[in-house]
Amino acid sequence: MTLGYLVRRFGAVLLVLAIVTFAVFAVTMLLPGNAAIMILGEYGSDDQIAALEKQLNLNRPWWEQYASWVGGALQGDFGMSLRLSLPVTEVVLPALANSAALAAVALLAVTLIAIPLGAYAALHRGKPADLIIGLFAYIGASMPEFVTATLLLVIFAGPGREFLPAGGFVAPGESIIGFLSHVALPATALGLVLMAHISRQVRSEMSDVLASDFVRAARLKGLTERRVVWRHALPNSLAPAIAVISLDIGYLLGGIIVVEEIFAWPGLGRLLIYALENRDLPVIQAVTLLLAMVYALSNLLSDIVIAAFDPRVRYG
Amino acid sequence: MTEFTISRRGVVIGMAAAGLAPGIGLAKAATPKDGGTLKISHSTRIATLNPLTLSGPAEYPCIDMLYSGLTRIGADNLPRPDLAESWEADPDARGFTFKLRPGVTFHDGSPCTAEDVKATYERILDPDQAASARSVLDMIESIEAVDDVTVRFNLGIPYADFPFSTGHANARILSRAALAGPPEALETQANGTGPFKLDSYDSAQVTRLVKSDSYFQTGKPYLDAVEMHLFPDLAAETANFLSGNMDVMLVVQQADYARIADSAGVEAQRVPSGRYVNVVMRYDVKPWDDVRVRKALALSVDRQLLVDIVLEGLGRPAYDNILSPEFQYAIDTPTVSYDPAAAKALLAEAGYPDGIDLTLGASNRPAIRAQVAVAIKQMAEPAGFRIEVETMPHDTYLANVWRKGGFYMAYWGMQPTEDATFNLLLTSNASYEDTGWNSARFDELVEKGRATVDDGERAKIYAEAQQLILDEIPYVIPFFEDVLTASRDGVHEWSVAPVSRFYYIEDVWLDEA
Amino acid sequence: MAELLRSPTGIAGTVLLSIVIAMAALGPFIAPYDPQTFHPIARLQGPSWAHLLGTDQFGRDILSRLLDGAPSTISFGLGATLLGVAAGSFIGVVAGVAGGAVDSVIMRLVDGLLAIPDLLFTLLIVTILGGGTGYAMLAVAVAFTPGMARISRSAVLSVRTRDYVLAAQARGESWGWIVGFEVLPNALSPIIVEATIRVAFAIMIGATLGFLGLGAQPPSTEWGLMVAEARQFMFRNPWMVAVPGIAIALAALGFNLFGDALRDALDPRGRR
């Protein structure tokens, strides 16, 4: 892996982000209605809407709006939220922090559970444990988050068995127990799909490694099975697992939209749905850009990890 | 469950149709305690605090705490003194003089005078600025600040209901300084004369208000602070309220009402209100140009069943009169029974013996619109109406259907007066005219009614106007929906006005302060 | 096909898929009640002999609604995938066959679009188009297109230099002929495998859009919408959520299992 490769990949990421902002902008311009109509709703009269459009600068041509947005964004100024009358950064950054907290808990839990599960399944191939883990993985991969989330709510937060809060958010700084109890259900709903995916990936990588020449060689040398697994097989199947996890960050970003909406988690996903409903263009832009950025960077990360761990992969 | 019919002239009746009316229960007898923080849960964002334009269900309680108007609408649907101590109409109802309370100050300590009132009303009337109260105040010709505590309004027409208009929830008095400042500041800051002042504003989570020591009603408010907690998800909101994390649930959904009312330690209230869903059937779109078709649809709606299955019984059947019984001049509206056979006959008479295919548009927000639409589709089938319900996201509805389509579901809250109701929707130049009715006779009656000061005379005029509505059926209005709210035991005096924009939170107090 | 039925995954997938497809084909005809008829005296009930899976807020029979909604739910997944695969394969084949500048411009754009997470992309498109089943299907198809383009391009590249293609070129066959008769048939199996798995995905996204109020609209019996409508009542009648929710999961599971088994059967080397 060379510096030139990295520079080129970064360049590609920047280009992609530019395409994304333009696409989002064009897309939101095509949307029916605009922020002024959505703010005043059914109860705003035509002259009120016209006055508000003027106040929100919605009556300028689209290319002028886009140019001024790009100009501002390059200087870190993402404009004002049309609906919330706050600078976009003030709306988006706290939401980003909250989403990151949720995603981090979900990813951490998934990693800690899925890797051992996958490894265990690989070591017991074809045994009942493997089949059960495999079945669980398939079910996890087939449940959309909104189904998992709703079922979790019915089971753990229904009347008479309010084990966990049904939604809402407590900052970790405020009360760590409060945070954990609120994050438990959304993180579970997010994590199930990933757990399925990652454990399956670890299992298959590990199976390959266990069948490989150097593990056979290690066994022939008379090393204990435990040593073979922990010292040789597992480390060698981790790189692909890490690559999968970083790729899954992108998947997480999709899931987070629905899960945050259901559990009232004040993160980027909720904000995005709110902004879409209200035609709050600057917020839609900023959130989409941010999500695309995280997604692109996690893809890049996964490529780098694979390249760094696997000498067979060469990039010119 | 008893339902009180609130008449404007009647005794000032409280709201709690859920059993305990304030003044009857023990709660009233106890002496209010000072202190404590009231936590209110709500499910829609407080996107702005701008009193001139806001319209969110959770935004109204905020400005009701932060600001005062000249008058304020009470639970009895009558205007009560607020910043104005008293008011007087000219005999011809073309001029009103308001006396302000002396010595009132804004939260920043600056005095609130007649000049601030004048500046606020001039801002509301400025056609270049958005202001929701303009439509009920546009009869004002000029405003004079006679002295510090006297404001006079000169009206272009006689307008007997003017003190109702000054009680419009979006006609709160702002300081001249705030009006002169940047308009964005109004969205996130507040310098009012209300019982509470703004402590912190976070549209995504909690907005916190604290007691104002300079409030003009001495001894009030009792609470130290009020927190508005946002729970965008209804299930989460309900769970948090029932587990005791929240003191008040601002809006209770019909589906949850029984469960919440049955929970221990909770008092749920249903306030009969004039809020309704209406079926728009535009006169200028076929087949609705024929009154027989409109009448046939009216006969095809089982109103009691709708109340039972859509409102969970939490409302009253309506029979297409836009005025609910709470209105002073509402007439006794005859029952319209569900009669698909008669409807079928009417349709045949109108030239549709084989029935008729229609598409009924409905926004998916709030869900009640689609639910009523789906139910009407089922009910009207035997009469020969083959209705396809087209439910759509709210923005699509606003852009493509609302005030454009010929057949769709609308949803309106209660207005404070007959005149406001008629001028909102039904007159030819109504703010949100969407019937295409254009009845010269109706316009004339409304015009006459608003200028008439004599009660008996007005009653006659408004009765004729309502009869016209019942004959013509510009809308099918199947029911009036109750306003539902709930509080925990230990919260006293929590109430919502039927127009649901006034809360009187300065009267609320807690057992455990 | 025999290969397919050798693994437990393949058997389970085939069985589930058959059930799902049978439901989609026959559901509306075997429903015990009209899915839209109200039974006002039997609202929000759990399972009983009269209503095997209970009733919803209007007293409509949940089993009948489930059966009635099967065709729209499943055909959404199939339709969206088919459209996405067709468009994606076309773009991928063009890029792979043309190579050079055309290839790099197309692939840059594809990379750009791939940088937006699927659900986000779909959400954006659906909000422009305005929701509803048709538009939602189109949106999912559009969201699938770049991914499919990439896969079919690499499939094309891998066969492009094979002997039979070179031979055809040497014979002087036209490009259209070569693509249609030599390249596509040989590049087809990875495309089919990917498509099968994507059907599961499309069903899930379609249901999610219905759930968010951007896909199917009331009174449709689409399963995601059924879950969305049930949320208000989920504590009063959990069956309203559980029945359509689990049905979605089973349908997606069927396609997932079948797709994986198909991959193993078509490509023995890839089997794990």
The whole-number pLDDT of residue B15 equals 28
Residue C35 is given by DSSP the state T
Q: Are A259 and A152 in contact (CB under 8 A)?
A: no
Query: How far A151 CA sits from the closest chain B CA (Å)?
Result: 12
- Using the Cβ of B382 and the Cβ atoms of chain C, whether some distance falls under 8 Å is answered with no
> Cβ C218–B374 below 8 Å, yes or no?
yes
The whole-number pLDDT of residue A315 equals 43
> Cβ B232–A80 below 8 Å, yes or no?
no
Determine the average pLDDT of the residues in B450-478: 94
Name the residue of chain C whose CA is nearest to B234's CA: C232
**Chain A contact set for C108 (CB, 8 A):** 12, 15
* Separation of first and last alpha carbons in chain A: 7
> Cβ B395–A279 below 8 Å, yes or no?
yes
Amino acid (one-letter) located at C8: P
Taking phi over 0 as left and psi of -120 to 50 as alpha, with beta for the rest, C76 belongs to alpha
> Cβ B55–A40 below 8 Å, yes or no?
yes
Name the residue of chain B whose CA is nearest to C233's CA: B255
Query: How far A80 CA sits from the closest chain B CA (Å)?
Result: 10
Q: Packing angle between helix A145-156 and helix C184-211, nearest 10 degrees?
A: 40
More confident residue, B500 or B361: B361
> Cβ C218–B395 below 8 Å, yes or no?
no
Q: Which two tokens stand for residue A200?
A: 């399956």
Spatial distance between the Cα atoms of B70 and B56, rounded to a whole number of angstroms: 22
**Chain A contact set for C235 (CB, 8 A):** 154, 158-159
Q: Are B198 and B209 in contact (CB under 8 A)?
A: yes
> Cβ B400–A32 below 8 Å, yes or no?
yes
Spatial distance between the Cα atoms of B422 and B428, rounded to a whole number of angstroms: 10
> Cβ A84–B47 below 8 Å, yes or no?
yes
SS (H, E, C) C82-105: HHHHHHHHHHHHHHHHHCHHHHHH
Please, which residues 36-75 of chain B have a Cβ atom closer than 8 Å to chain A?
45, 47-48, 50, 53, 55
Q: Which of A81, A86, A99 to mutate to test the interface with B (most CBs of B within 10 A)?
A: A86
The whole-number pLDDT of residue C272 equals 39
Beta-bridged to residue B476, according to DSSP, are B279
Q: Which two tokens stand for residue A167?
A: 């939604």
Q: Which uninterrupted H or E stretch holds B392? A: strand B385-392
Residue A135 clears pLDDT 60, i.e. is over it: yes
Q: At CA A280, angle to CA A279 and CA A286, rounded to 5? A: 125
The whole-number pLDDT of residue B204 equals 73
pLDDT tens digits, A204-214? 888 888 877 77
Query: How far A177 CA sits from the closest chain B CA (Å)?
Result: 15
The whole-number pLDDT of residue C69 equals 94
Q: Which of B308, B364, B381, B388 to mutate to test the interface with C (most CBs of C within 10 A)?
A: B364
pLDDT tens digits, B128-181? 887 888 888 989 999 999 999 999 999 998 898 999 999 999 999 999 999 999
**Chain C contact set for A131 (CB, 8 A):** 8
Spatial distance between the Cα atoms of B385 and B356, rounded to a whole number of angstroms: 5
Spatial distance between the Cα atoms of B177 and B185, rounded to a whole number of angstroms: 11
**Chain C contact set for B302 (CB, 8 A):** none
Nearest to A144 among C115, C128, C207 (CB): C207
pLDDT tens digits, A245-286? 777 777 788 788 889 988 888 899 989 988 887 778 888 888
Question: If pLDDT is split at 50, 70 and 90, which confidence band does A43 have?
Answer: low
**Chain C contact set for B365 (CB, 8 A):** 213
**Chain A contact set for C111 (CB, 8 A):** 12, 16
Question: If pLDDT is split at 50, 70 and 90, which confidence band does C213 have?
Answer: confident
The whole-number pLDDT of residue C169 equals 80
Q: Which of B395, B411, B421, B429 to mutate to test the interface with A (most CBs of A within 10 A)?
A: B395
> Cβ A19–C242 below 8 Å, yes or no?
no
Q: What is the pTM of this model?
A: 0.82
pLDDT tens digits, A79-108? 888 777 778 998 899 999 999 999 999 989
pLDDT tens digits, C76-86? 999 999 999 99
Least confident of A50-64, C23-37, C129-143: A50-64
Residue C16 clears pLDDT 70, i.e. is over it: yes
Residue C269 is given by DSSP the state G
pLDDT tens digits, A140-176? 888 899 999 989 988 887 777 777 877 777 778 878 8
Least confident of B6-15, B327-336, C92-101, C207-216: B6-15
How much is the mean pLDDT over chain A? 80
More confident residue, B120 or B240: B120
> Cβ A85–B187 below 8 Å, yes or no?
yes
The whole-number pLDDT of residue A71 equals 86
pLDDT tens digits, A179-189? 888 899 999 99
> Cβ C128–A254 below 8 Å, yes or no?
no
Residues ≥6 apart with Cβ < 8 Å to A105:
A183, A187
B225-230 vs B37-42, strand pairing mode = parallel
Amino acid (one-letter) located at C136: A
Spatial distance between the Cα atoms of C95 and B156, rounded to a whole number of angstroms: 72
Query: How far C221 CA sits from the closest chain B CA (Å)?
Result: 12
Amino acid (one-letter) located at B346: L
Nearest to B364 among C37, C57, C213 (CB): C213
- Using the Cβ of C131 and the Cβ atoms of chain B, whether some distance falls under 8 Å is answered with yes
Q: Are A185 and A236 in contact (CB under 8 A)?
A: no
Q: Which chains touch A (3 or more CB pairs under 8 A)?
A: B, C
**Chain A contact set for C248 (CB, 8 A):** 143-144, 147
pLDDT tens digits, C34-76? 999 999 888 889 999 999 999 998 999 999 999 999 999 999 9
ipTM for this prediction: 0.85
SS (H, E, C) chain A: CCHHHHHHHHHHHHHHHHHHHHHHHHHHHHCCCCHHHHHHHHHCCHHHHHHHHHHCCCCCCHHHHHHHHHHHHHCCCCCECCCCCCEHHHHHHHHHHHHHHHHHHHHHHHHHHHHHHHHHHHHCCCCHHHHHHHHHHHHHHHCCHHHHHHHHHHHHCCCCCCCCCCCCCCCCCCCHHHHHHHHHHHHHHHHHHHHHHHHHHHHHHHHHHHCCHHHHHHHHCCCCHHHHHHHHHHHHHHHHHHHHHHHHHHHHHHHHHHHHHHHCCCCHHHHHHHHHHHCCHHHHHHHHHHHHHHHHHHHHHHHHHHHHHCCCCCCC
The whole-number pLDDT of residue C255 equals 93
- Using the Cβ of B390 and the Cβ atoms of chain C, whether some distance falls under 8 Å is answered with yes
Determine the average pLDDT of the residues in B78-101: 93
Determine the average pLDDT of the residues in A9-30: 77
CB atoms within 10 A of CB A190: 30
How much is the mean pLDDT over chain B? 89
**Chain C contact set for A258 (CB, 8 A):** 119, 208, 211-212
- Using the Cβ of C105 and the Cβ atoms of chain A, whether some distance falls under 8 Å is answered with no
Residue C149 clears pLDDT 70, i.e. is over it: yes
The whole-number pLDDT of residue A85 equals 72
More confident residue, A307 or A99: A99
Spatial distance between the Cα atoms of B210 and B188, rounded to a whole number of angstroms: 16
- Using the Cβ of C8 and the Cβ atoms of chain A, whether some distance falls under 8 Å is answered with yes
CB atoms within 10 A of CB B320: 25
- Using the Cβ of C102 and the Cβ atoms of chain A, whether some distance falls under 8 Å is answered with no
Query: How far A174 CA sits from the closest chain C CA (Å)?
Result: 30
Q: Report the C-alpha dihedral over residues B77, B83, B85, B90, rounded to 10 degrees.
A: -70
**Chain C contact set for B256 (CB, 8 A):** 232
Spatial distance between the Cα atoms of A243 and B418, rounded to a whole number of angstroms: 67
Query: How far A291 CA sits from the closest chain C CA (Å)?
Result: 7
Query: How far A67 CA sits from the closest chain B CA (Å)?
Result: 23
**Chain B contact set for A157 (CB, 8 A):** 235, 239
Spatial distance between the Cα atoms of B121 and B153, rounded to a whole number of angstroms: 10
**Chain C contact set for A99 (CB, 8 A):** none
Of C104, C92, C107, which is closest to residue C154 (Cα–Cα)?
C92
Of C53, C57, A76, A210, which is closest to residue B375 (Cα–Cα)?
C57
**Chain B contact set for C231 (CB, 8 A):** 234-235
CB pairs under 8 A between A and B: 123
**Chain A contact set for C216 (CB, 8 A):** none
Residue A113 clears pLDDT 80, i.e. is over it: yes
- Total count of residues recorded for chain B: 513
pLDDT tens digits, B472-492? 999 999 999 999 999 999 999
User: How distant is the alpha carbon of residue C14 from its chain centre?
Assistant: 16
B37-42 vs B248-249, strand pairing mode = parallel
Please, which residues 113-172 of chain C have a Cβ atom closer than 8 Å to chain A?
113, 115-120, 123-125, 127-128, 130
